[in-house]
Structure formats: C-alpha cells, structure tokens
Amino acid sequence: MPNERVLIVDDEKLIRWSVRRQLEEWGYVVLEAESGTGGLAQIRSETPDLILLDVRLPDLSGIEVLREIKQNNLAVPVIMITGDPQLDDIKTAIKLGALDFIKKPIDFDEFQITVGNAIDRSQLRSERDSLREEVKRRSGYHEIIAKSPRMVELMGFVRKVAASEASTVLIQGESGTGKDLIANAIHYDSTRADKPFVAINCSAIPETLMEAELFGHERGAFTDAKAQKKGLFEIADGGTLFLDEIGELSTYLQAKLLRVLENQTIRRIGGVKDIGVEIRVIAASNRDLEQGVRDSTFRQDLFYRLSIIPIFIPPLRNRREDILPLVEFFIERYNFRFRKGVKGMTQEARDLLVHYDWPGNVRELKNAIERAMILEEADFIRPTYLPIQITGQAPGYESTLPLTPPDGTEIVGVGMSNPSAASWRPLASGRMIPVLELPKEGTSLEEVERELVGLALKQTAGNQTHAAKLLDISRDALRYKMKKFGFDSDSPEM
C-alpha cells in the first residue's frame, strides 16, 4: 500500500473531504490547506510527494502558487483542479510545469490513475536525482588524490576551469595519469552538472564509423542507415563531450571538429540543415600534440582552438608524495569490493612502491594494489604479492642472499668510529647485517644508504642486477638510488 503524502489545496470544504476520503482509502497520507498562502506554508514544512492545487483560491490564484513553487525549485509534481477550465489557465499552468488537470466534478476512477501516475513520476524523479548525486560524488574530486604540491596546485586550477565558461579544454598527460577523472571533475563541478556527460575514446572506433558516431546521420544517408540517428554532439547538448585520445582523429575529422567548435553547429551525415549545439568539449591526449602539429598529423588551428585552457597532469614518478595516499585509497576501495580487512602495507612493500618509477602511472598502481588485495591473506600487503616488475623477483620468492661481509676494512665508511670492531649478526629472516657503532657526533641515514649502494656496486663490479639482490631491492629501485646519489650508471665507483 502506498504511504506517500498528498497535499490538497482547495477552498471548498466538500471537495477536500471527498478527495481526502478517496486518497486515504487508497493508502495515501493526506494534508489540507484552504488557501494559497496556507498551501505554500504546508509545502515548506511538510514536503509532500504530490500537490492537488485548485485554480481559484480566495487569496492567491492557483497559477500564482504554482509559479511560487517552481521559482523555489521545489521538485513536487502538481495537478491542477478546476471547475471552470479556461484554455489560457491550462496553457499557463502547463508552461509553468503543472503535470496535469482534473475537472470538477471529479471522476474518481480517472483521478486514481492520474494520482498514481503522478506519484510514480515523482518517485522516478527522486531516484534519478539521487543517482545523479551519486554519480557526481563518484566522478568528482572524491576520486582524485592530490597531496603533492604539484597536484594540489593543479586541482586548484581545475576548479577554476570548471567554474568558468570555457567551451574547450585540453588535458595532456601520459597514459594512466587520470585524464578521464579530471574531465569528469570539471563537468560535475560546473553549471553543466545536471546535463549529459558523454565520453568517447577516439582510438577505439574505426575511422569509417567515427563521423556518424560524432555527428549522427539521416535515414538513408548510407546503406545501413535505416533510421535517423543523433550523434554524440547532439546527445551531449548543454553538457560536456569528452574526446579521449583526440590525437587519433583523422585530419578530415579534425577539420569537421574545428568547424563545430567555431560555429557551435553540426550537420548530420546526409542532412541539409545545421543543428545548433551548446556544448563544452574536453579533449585529452597522451601524445605530444605540438609534435603532431610539427609532423603535420594534427591540425595547428585545431590545436590552438582546443588548448585555450591547457591542463597537464604530471606522471606519478614526478609526484611521489601521492603514491602512498593513493595506495590507502585503493586498499579501502578493494577492502569494500572484496570484503577484506587489509590494514595497509609492510614497510618493505611501501618502500618498493615509492621507489618504483610507475611507467603506467596511477592505472598501473591501481592494478598492482588490486592484484595484491586479491592474493594477500595477511593483515598487511607484503612484497610477495606485488608484480614482479616492482619487486624484481618471481612471485613467492624471498631472497636469503646476505650482504656478504667483505674483508677487513672493506666495511669502512658511514661515519663509524671503530670500523674494525664491526661484526655480523643474523636477522629473523636469516639475513646478516653488520653491527656498527655510530660516532658521537651522529651521522646521516642518507649517507649510510649511499655507502651501502656504493659498496654493493663495487662488490659486484657494477652488475646492477646482482647489486640489487645484495641489497634485496628491485633493479628499478637500485637505479633510482643510483640516480639519487649521483652514481654513474656505467661505473660503480663513487
């Protein structure tokens, strides 16, 4: 049985009584008001699911009440009630947003159907608005992790772009940096948020079909055009069209796209008239479009038109402060998806992730964490379940190769006051580490790390693979440290 709230606004007591009796019999909760002012007060305090509004009221007219409802953006369906239907009243009410009209005396069989349809429509609108809010939440800034100074600055700029009236935006960055997330954030933080966001990957659709996909076609325009079809520009009218991998468009389609951007009109294939579209175009590319201009594979005029507002997303290796916050974000996501309770990562795993260069950027990190979350059974993710390109080891392999103690003074350096007193002790893993005595004045941990890297390279005659095994890190991590400490990749000497 329904329990939706229906407000009757009518100055005739008998009408209110008869309508109330029927509505309550059908299971609705009924509210009443005998004037326009009283009806508006009820609407503000009770938030009904449906309003039955008389056209003729003693203070305000039903049309005035309806206008007030719509001006205040109250998304409540309204059915007008009248004993003297005038064409002008009907026209005005429908134009203002009234859902339907009911004539007095009321036919309650028809009335039940009309009310039921109105309630269903109200529920659909409510569900639609709720879904829109959820999409906005998931597609906005919530999905973008920005802790590094570069990303914090970038997101501040993105918010300005979203609030602007810019009709074209160009997002550039390596594959996997999150260009689609930035595009979503711009749309859902703009005044276009309640309009369509339409995305297309220009590299995923054959060139022969791309024109029809973007601009649509008329019936009979070509052999398989058996019905008229709207293109993505028409579908996205009023909203945002996201053209991912714009660099893959042919020069022919680039010319057509430029015309649309300049004139804000499109013409379907086989059509004879232009169709106006009001749209924001966000283009993205992992290619160097300026190089494309120099190579004559990308039109210079289109590049300048798209890049009025340029956004460049730095690769993950250039914003390492974002790596661990991203890891926490993905662990939380996959805990929910896989119904797990992983608390985090071991320090060794964290170090590997921070020092890895991430050629696949955030997408590669996301995939690595998803893989580890699927396989890991402990409370903390261990290096064992990270991809081999990160660990430099086969899955399940645990290195037991110790940093072999060198002869005598070979262990010198790192600011030790008595190098000859150094001895070796085993860890729980079976590895051996030197027992060192620190100088009274202290030393730098970074210097210690530099000395160990240099020592490993020297002992292995510069063989980076073997040096990485001695230090129990990946080869990529070793190369990162060599670059950090200024070691020549061709020479192990300090």
Strands 280-285 vs 168-172: parallel, antiparallel or unpaired: parallel
Domain 317-391 has CATH 2.40.110.10: no
State how far the Cα of 145 lies from the Cα of 141, in Å rounded to an integer.
8
For the chain, the domains span: 5-134, 140-314, 317-391, 408-485
What are 6-65's pLDDT values in tens digits?
999 998 889 889 999 999 988 899 999 999 888 888 888 887 889 999 888 888 888 888
Q: Check residue 296 and give left, alpha or beta (phi > 0: left; psi -120 to 50: alpha).
A: left
Average pLDDT, the chain: 83
List pLDDT tens digits, range 394-422. Answer: 444 443 333 444 443 333 333 333 333 44
Q: Residues near 316 by Cβ (< 8 Å), separated by ≥ 6?
A: 176, 177, 322, 323, 358, 361, 362, 365
- Give the homologous superfamily in CATH for domain 140-314: P-loop containing nucleotide triphosphate hydrolases (3.40.50.300)
Of residues 120 and 159, the one with the higher pLDDT is: 159
Do 5-134 and 140-314 fold alike per CATH? Answer: yes
Closest CA to 460 of 485, 436, 487: 487
CA distance 426 to 403: 11
The answer to whether 77 touches 98, Cβ cutoff 8 Å, is no
Contacts of 203 (CB under 8 A, 6+ apart): 244, 245, 248
Distance CA 99, CA 116 (A): 12
Task: Report the DSSP beta bridge partners of residue 283.
Answer: 170, 243
Please, what CATH class does the domain formed by 408-485 belong to?
A: mainly alpha
Q: Name the CATH code of domain 5-134 (choices 3.30.390.10, 3.90.1300.10, 3.40.50.720, 3.40.50.2300).
A: 3.40.50.2300
The CA distance from 374 to 454, in Å, is 37
DSSP character at residue 203: T
209-213, 246-250, 359-363, 406-410: which range is least confident on average? 406-410
- In this structure, are residues 179 and 282 in contact, taking their beta carbons and an 8 Å threshold? no
Name the DSSP letter for residue 269: B
